[in-house]
Amino acid sequence: MVENLPPNAPTANLQTVDLERLIEQSEDEINKLLRASVLDGFFYLDLRSISAKNGILEHVNDIFTLEEELFGLDNSEKLKYDVDKMGGKFGKMKLSGYKPMGRNFGGIGGKSDGFESYSIPKDGILNLEETGDFVRPPPIDAHKESLEKFIAFVQHASQAIYKALSSALCLDPSEVFENFHRPNMQSPDLLRLLKYHPQPITERGAPQTPHTDLGSLTFLFTRQNGLQVLPRGAQDWLYVACKPGHAVINLGDGMSLLSNGLLQSCLHRVAPLPSEAFKTRYSFAYLQRAEDDTIMRGLKSPVIPKSDPQARSHTSAEWLVKKFGMLRGATYSKEESWVLTGVKPQQLITTQ
């Protein structure tokens, strides 16, 4: 059952893009996608017609079941898979494993976060890496079919989004977005399961610090409200209402960097509803990122602003590591806190 927002909650007015029509490259859907990507950085993706054919929403429901099973394990069991202590490539890149509540910088008393998370690497589920690096608890294997179906679906859906944006921005054919997000190539993509813990109404902290996502696209699924966005130039946070049969999509730093800020990577967080105690909240997000060696700088296009030639470009892997350093409470640096909210504005110039 999807929750309704209370009537006193200020709500974001986001575009809705129909995935089936976008796959067909409908001009109307491409235009809606472009407007949303330039103005908001967030939009709803309607999955209802496509799910009638491939049943993807059934797999979404199964992943919600996986969350309850996994986070219901004893803490001692979950900590066997501590994301900060895992070995191999997945561990080094923090793509696999468990993060306990309170480890990240956040808005709860003492400036810590209020959620647990568990990361599941795309390359592990699809066997694109050595399987010895993919150590995981039993519930993941019990739901592996749904995870495989879901990840394959996201790869297909994201290709439709990239192709539409590449066309709309008149990208050089050698530098289209889809070239840097090939479905069957190794990449730091992951599925992140999230459990937010309840707070009393007297403790009104946001359990997640405001941030932009470090990847290219995020596919978010939740049945419970609490997600907020802060549109560019706005002073007030707006809630993103849950919509049955829809994913919430947001563009991350990757798309902003590859378009030199033309496409929005919007600031967002999770926070309590007005005048309500924060309840236990489950959600999960697929974080799609460019392949590790992608240089994160503006692509060739007549409409993308040119880069400042003095600005240093990160690779996708370097940006991931830098961003994680700002998210963890132990390594957070006020001087580098701009990393939480994306690219420094002075790194862009607008002349052609």
CB-CB contact of 289 with 213 (8 Å): no
pLDDT in tens, the chain (352 residues): 788 899 899 999 999 999 999 999 999 999 999 999 999 999 999 999 999 999 999 999 999 999 999 999 999 999 999 999 998 888 888 899 999 998 887 777 767 888 999 999 999 999 987 667 899 999 999 999 999 999 999 999 999 999 999 999 999 999 999 999 998 888 999 999 999 999 888 877 778 778 888 889 999 999 999 999 998 888 899 999 999 999 999 999 899 989 999 999 999 999 999 988 899 999 999 999 999 899 888 999 999 988 766 566 788 888 777 766 666 555 555 555 555 555 544 333 332 2
Q: Which of 54, 70, 114 is nearest to 271 (CA)?
A: 114
Q: DSSP labels for 105-129?
A: EEEETTTE--EEEEEEEHHHHTT-S
User: Is residue 292 included in any domain, yes or no?
Assistant: yes
**Is residue 27 domain-resident?**
yes
264 is a domain residue: yes
- CATH number, residue 53: 2.60.120.330
Is residue 1 in some structural domain?
Answer: no
Tokens of 212: 């932009």
Domain region containing 222: 16-347
Strand (E) or helix (H) holding 36: helix 27-39
> Is residue 319 in a domain?
yes
Q: What is the DSSP letter of 103?
A: -
Report how many domains make up the chain: 1
Q: Report if residue 4 sits inside a domain.
A: no
Residue 309 neighbours by CB distance under 10 Å: 6
Does residue 3 lie within any of the structural domains? no
Q: Is residue 11 part of a domain?
A: no
